[in-house]
Amino acid sequence: MVDFEKLPSKSIVARLSGYGQDLKMNQMAGHDINYLAQSGVLDRLQTIPYNILADFAGGGLLAAFAIVSAVVRNNMQPPTQATILDIGLMPGFDPALAPVRRAG
């Protein structure tokens, strides 16, 4: 287990999980198809997508944006402690595919 309080102040830690640390479902197992269905996007798609859509759109894209944002913020205002980013695939996937929901 990592002791986050002992990390250097400019450290950025990105934690990716299925549902994030704060949702009620944070202890449940989940897979890409679960995140698609629970976000309401699956019923809008014409076919079942490859099993990496939520991983890339919800996790990877949001994690990359959050890390870059944290780097910029750290450069503008030096942090006093490490930055911990909690990224959930399900919460991140929801806004990433908002255009798909509007199109349907």
Classified as helix, coil or strand, 85 is strand
Q: Give the pTM.
A: 0.72
pLDDT of residue 62: 83
For 78-91, write each residue's pLDDT tens digit: 999 999 998 887 77
**12-64 pLDDT, tens per residue?**
999 888 777 777 777 777 777 777 777 777 777 777 776 666 677 667 888 89
Residue 1 lies in a domain: no
Residue 55 appears among annotated catalytic residues: yes
| Active-site hit among 3, 55, 86, 94 | 55
On whether residue 29 sits in a domain, the answer given is yes
Secondary structure of residue 19 in the 3-state scheme = coil
Give the chain's domain count. 1
**Residue 101, pLDDT above cutoff 60:** no
Whether residue 2 lies inside any domain: the answer is no
Output the pLDDT for position 44.
72
Per-residue model confidence (pLDDT) at position 66? 92
pLDDT of residue 103: 56
Q: How many CB atoms lie within 10 A of CB 4?
A: 13
Q: Is residue 88 part of a domain?
A: yes
Q: By residue range, what is the domain housing residue 68?
A: 8-103
What are residue 14's phi and psi, to 5 degrees? Answer: -110, 120
Is there a domain that residue 3 lies in? no
For residue 102, give every residue at least 6 positions away whose Cβ sits within 8 Å of its Cβ, in sequence order, or none.
none
